[in-house]
Amino acid sequence: MTFSIASFATPAGPRAALIMNGQIIDIALATGQEADASVLALLENLDANLVRLDKLAASNPPGLSVDAVTLLPPIPLPPVLYCAGSNYADHAAEMAKAAGREPPKDPHDLGQRSWHFLKSSRSAIGPNADIPFPPHIKKLDWEAELGVVIGRTCRNVSEEQALDYVAGYLIANDLSARDLSRRDGVPDNSIFRNDWISHKSFDGACPLGPWITLARDVPDPHNLKMRLDVNGDVKQDSNTGYMIFDIKEQIADLSSRMTLYPGDIILTGTPAGVGNGRGEYLKKGDVVTIEIEHLGKIRNHLI
């Protein structure tokens, strides 16, 4: 029986759930083990827990309609959110054009490796959550991304082994404050010019969801259609196959510098079509919808 793993809101706090056939099953309630109420706890012993969850799913336990609950980020407080920078060539080119620069060369040709920044774990919000429009931001932009959920502790893994450490995949929106990406009054050539905190980590800056689709149920994470629209107007329409550094490279690169742990999430970059490339930005009332093949849909309203 195919299922995904989610978190949903209850008066007592977040609860882990199976998503099956449009139904949501409270895992801890079904197993009688309160430790099963946490998605992070399930990921920390993934192999053994998948055996148990497969048995649970096969028993076809009763559940509620997914529409009857409020879905939270699949991991309500991800340990770490790693975000790949400029990882689609067409996006890198559109951002360079907006800044009046030449399109960058393929970093592989320059002997470079993937690079990442961090996004605050507390900026994560649910797949259908309303986003209070940050009043201090004038140029709020969208970025559809494939999120990779780490399921096994890994350090210094090879590219060939990298996907063995993936629990599953989800959809992310790396919302970005373009007007706050550079610090005023600091010279352009200063290493202190960039402001990644203000740019990427404001409240509500990382919608995630709708659930974790298990890696075993995704035929090829490097060939997934992805699409973002704002109020029904398609802005991004691409495929994960166009990444510069693929998922295997990113996991190998990150794990060569630090240990990756279950529940860590890697946002793998966004394709062309962001607002900054055309001088369009989000405003109050806008609805941003992202769909990725096999993974579902997230839809967030700016209020």
Residues 8 and 126 in one domain: no
The two three-digit tokens of residue 182, written as one number: 């550079």
pLDDT digits 0-9 by tens, 158-191: 999 999 999 999 999 999 999 999 888 888 888 8
Residue 75 lies in a domain: no
Write out the residue range of the structural domain in which residue 23 sits. Answer: 4-68
pLDDT at 22: 93
- Gap between the Cα atoms of 38 and 284, Å rounded: 34
Are 207 and 292 contained in the same domain?
A: yes
- For the entire predicted model, the pTM comes to 0.96
Residue 171 lies in a domain: yes
Asked, for residue 76, whether it belongs to a domain, the answer is: no
Which CATH number is 190's domain given?
Answer: 3.90.850.10
Spatial separation of the C-alpha atoms in residues 278 and 73, rounded to whole Å? 30
Please enumerate in sequence order all residues whose Cβ is within 8 A of that of 256, keeping only pairs 6 or more positions apart, or say none: 156
138 and 273 belong to one structural domain: yes
User: 236-283 pLDDT, tens per residue?
Assistant: 999 999 999 999 999 999 999 999 999 999 999 999 999 999 999 999
Q: Are 262 and 138 part of one and the same domain?
A: yes
State pLDDT tens for residues 79-122.
999 999 999 998 888 887 877 788 888 889 888 999 999 999 99
Same domain, yes or no, for 95 and 42? no
| CA 150 – CA 171 distance, rounded (Å) | 14
**Same domain as 63, residue 115:** no
